[in-house]
Copies of this chain bind each other. A is one copy, B any other.
Amino acid sequence: METSSPRPRAERARQVADVLRQRITAGAFDDGPLPDEHTLGTQLGATRNAVREALGLLRAEGLVERRQGVGTLVVHPKYGHGLDRLVGLAEALDGYGDVVNEVRSVGIVTPPPATAERLGLVPGAPAVHLERLRRLGGVPLSLDTTYLTADIGVPLLDHDLAGRDLFALIEETSGRRLGRADVVVHAVTAGPDTAALLDVAPGTAVFALDRLTHLDDGRPVDAETLHIRADRLTLRATLHRGPA
């Protein structure tokens, strides 16, 4: 009773790409090239044409590349960043390698009024502005633009902003615990500036993640926008149905 589709071939390619993306993300092909198109077709119950088109879609996403004489390779393993608990990037990627932060800009500024309002600051009050380009294995992972309230941010200026997660540093220097963070995730195409910094082609899909982090007493202290390479990082969560 499967109903027919008006554009069966393109659809089939999309569906094969979905299954392959999920297997790539699960690390199925991290150790070598993907099987050839014929073998993939058998494994996926798809025609060779559908597999070929699906691989084209995944190449356009930057997920795989074709290398002469080798076959199709996964460009970067995709790391998962959990959305279950508030952790910094280095904490989330513990065990995968060192996250190194290039501090591109740091200082005391007057934040944009909309940002001041998010942080509960009076107009014109100072804040600490920090921009870091974060790399794992030497390859860019994310660009983090952060505004911190002065009481929390100023004591951080003497610390190792290149080597440490902000969350851990904030808790150490302030002696306070962080509480909740409100996170809004967007998918956007990278503009020229973001693309150049993240070393991807302009027009590549990236995550733009707004995160407002509070101390455990509920006061907002850290307003960030992160641009994250979506070919290198997935966002993961375990959701529960909860009571009816």
Interface residues of A, count at CB 8 A? 86
A67, CB-defined interface residue at 8 Å: no
Cβ distance A164 to chain B, nearest Cβ, rounded Å: 15
Kindly report which residue of chain B lies nearest to residue A223, judged by CB atoms: B22
Q: Is A32 part of the contact surface with B, judged by Cβ < 8 Å?
A: no
Are B3 and A105 within 8 A (Cβ)? yes
Q: Which residues of B contact A171 (CB under 8 A)?
A: 244
Is residue A47 contacting chain B, with contact meaning CB distance below 8 A?
no
Q: Which residue of B lies closest to A46 (CB)?
A: B112
Q: For the complex, what is the distance from the CA of A115 to the CA of B20, rounded to whole Å?
A: 10
- Which B residues lie within 8 Å of A183 (CB)? 236-239
Contact partner of A1 (CB less than 8 A), chosen from B43, B107, B205, B225, is: B107
| CB proximity of A229 to chain B, nearest CB, Å | 9
A243: nearest chain-B partner, CB-CB: B177
Of the candidates B44, B104, B110, B210, which one forms a contact with A112 in the assembled complex, judged by CB atoms under 8 Å apart? B44
